[in-house]
Structure 1
Amino acid sequence: MTPPLHLCRRVCARAATTRAVAAVAACTALLAGCGNDTAPDRGYPELAKTLRSLSRDLDEACGPAETPESCAQDLDQLMAPAERAFAQVLDHKLLDGAAVAAMDELDRARELRVAAAREARSRQDPGDLRLARAVAAEKLAYQRLLAELERLRTAPPPGDGTDPV
């Protein structure tokens, strides 16, 4: 025996309503999970720590009473943390042309400073003016690199942050 038609309509209507409510709940849950409030931390804490450390070391390097030669030795110790910060930027896929240009500028400044230090040592002049200029140029290149890497670290994501990764 077939149930009356009005009972079939009620059962079908309830099932359709239940499916619609479940679909709306599923969509709401998906949308809530994709909002900016649940987005991954864009602060890159490990990179921030490396950049703070490099910045502090750069500030402490090359005191006013130091000779350019001793300042050059301080700058030699900054290369490893700078390369580590650059590698972290690569790991997070944050790299852009300005950061590459800043790293290239640092490499060129370092090469010039090493050549000037070699020449100053050969003349036995630790206060050589060319070495002092090369040290100042390298320190400025470090500052530019730090600024670029910090800009990349703190830049908002493209779009509104809900784009797929």
Structure 2
Amino acid sequence: MPAPSTPSPTARGRVRGAAGTLRAVAAFVALGALATGCRNDTAPAWGYPELGATLRALTRDLDEGCAETAPSGCLAELDRLGVLAEGAFAEVLDHRLLDVGYVVAMQDVEGARELRVAAAREARVRRDPHYLPLRRAVLAERLAYRRLLAALEGLRTAPPPGDGTGPV
């Protein structure tokens, strides 16, 4: 009779058989994963929190800005919006989110800014803080920023290609 500390030959065969079965199951799982494609189901959230914070700041400044009746009082606030929009553009480039709608919205903002700067220069020459073309230019630039915000929000909330769970 063998010593109790050494397993019997049949028990050793069962241990080897169990290990072989585990290896077969592991190989089957690996082959199944390769056949169906490994998926990154635990992909990180794609909400772009930095871009969201910039959008909230842009929205807040756009909503709260230009409370003065004279459009000449809005110029500094619109310039501050331009700085925030440039920060948003950098984040869009970092995340590779650039699309045609966003580019068009940025061009609208740039065009409206150029008109506003020219109208502000004319208002200073005329010494008229309520110069009507300046008021219209300020309103046009604010509207362009609204379209830019809508484009940015669309970029931020759109799921990444393949919904973020594509093959790893």
- Please give the range of the TM-score, normalised by the shorter of the 2 chains: 0.7 to 0.9
Partner of 1:132: 135
| Deviation of the 1:114 alpha carbon | 0.2
Q: Is residue 34 from structure 1 mapped to residue 46 from structure 2 by the alignment?
A: no
| Deviation of the 1:54 alpha carbon | 1.0
**2-structure distance, mates of 1:164, 1:95:** 23
Query: Contact 2:72/2:129 (CA < 8 Å) preserved in 1?
Result: yes
Secondary structure of 1:80's match?
A: helix
Counterpart of 2:145, as a letter, is Y
**2-structure distance, mates of 1:25, 1:100:** 46
| Structure 2 unaligned blocks of 5 or more | 1-13
Q: 2:102 aligns with which of 99, 103, 115?
A: 99
Matches within 5 A, 1:46-65: 46-63=50-67, 65=68
Secondary structure of 1:104's match?
A: helix
| Deviation of the 1:15 alpha carbon | 6.9
Partner of 2:120: 117
Query: Contact 1:62/1:74 (CA < 8 Å) preserved in 2?
Result: yes
TM-score by length of structure 1 reads 0.81
For each residue in 1:100-125, what CA deviation from the matched residue of structure 2 results, as whole angstroms up to 9, or x when unmatched? 11011101100000000000110111
Q: 1:76 aligns with which of 79, 87, 90?
A: 79
Query: Contact 1:109/1:137 (CA < 8 Å) preserved in 2?
Result: yes
Counterpart of 2:103, as a letter, is V
Aligned length: 153
Whose radius of gyration is greater, 1 or 2?
Answer: 2
| Structure 1 unaligned blocks of 5 or more | 1-9
Q: 1:20 aligns with which of 20, 24, 27?
A: 24
% identity of equivalent residues: 62
Partner of 2:88: 85
**2-structure distance, mates of 1:20, 1:67:** 79
